Amino acid sequence: MKKNMYTRITIVLFIIGLMIAVQYNTIKQPAERDTRDIWAIREELAEEKQRHSTLLAEIRSLNEVVGRYEQSEKANLQSALYQTLDRLKQQAGLTEVTGPGVVLRVEPAPELVEMGYEIKEISPDLLTQLLNALFKNNAASVSIDGNRVVQTTAIRDINGKTTVNSVPLSAPPFEIYVGTSSFKEAQKMYNSLQASTFIDSFYLDNFNLIIEEPTEHLIIPAFDQPLTNDYLTEVKKGE
Amino acid sequence: MWLPFLGLIFGLALGLLTNMQIPSIYENYLSIAVLAALDTLFGGIRAQLQQVYDDKVFVSGFFFNIILAAGLAFLGVYLGIDLYLAAIFAFGVRLFQNIAIIRRILLTKIDEKRHKRNKNSIE
Give the DSSP letter string of B73-107. Answer: HHHHHHHTS-HHHHHHHHHHHHHHHHHHHHHHHHH
Categorise residue A13: left if φ over 0, alpha if ψ from -120 to 50, beta otherwise.
alpha
Is pLDDT above 70 for A7?
A: yes
Of B51, B50, B54, B74, the closest CA to residue B62 belongs to B54
CB pairs under 8 A between A and B: 100
Q: Which residues of B touch A2 (CB under 8 A)?
A: none
| pLDDT for position A74 | 64
pLDDT 10s digits, A152-194 = 888 888 888 888 888 888 877 888 888 888 888 888 888 888 8
CB contact under 8 A, A17 and B12: yes
Quote the minimal CA–CA distance from A16 to chain B in Å: 6
pTM of the model: 0.47
A19 to chain B: nearest residue by CA?
B34
* Rounded percentage of chain A residues whose pLDDT exceeds 70: 95
Q: Is the peptide bond before A172 cis (omega within 30 degrees of 0)?
A: no
The yes-or-no verdict on residue A140 having pLDDT over 90 is: no
The C-alpha atoms of residue B64 and residue B70 are separated, in whole angstroms, by: 10
Closest-CA residue of B relative to A21 is B15
Interface test with A, best of B3, B5, B8 (most A CBs within 10 A): B8
Q: Give the pLDDT confidence of A24-72 residue by residue, as tens digits.
A: 888 876 666 777 788 888 999 999 999 999 999 999 999 988 888 777 7
Q: Which of residues 64-123 of B touch A (CB under 8 A)?
A: none
End-to-end distance of chain A based on CA atoms, in angstroms? 56
In A, what residues contact B, Cβ < 8 A?
Answer: 4-27, 29
Mean pLDDT of chain A: 84
The whole-angstrom separation of Cα A137 and Cα A127 is: 15
Provide the angle, in degrees to the nearest 10, between the axes of the packed helices B83-122 and B27-49: 30
Highest mean pLDDT among A141-145, A166-170, A195-199, B92-96 belongs to B92-96
What's the rounded Cα separation, in Å, for the pair A142 and A221? 9
Residue A208 pLDDT greater than 60, yes or no? yes
ipTM over 0.85: no
Q: Do B11 and A5 touch (CB under 8 A)?
A: no
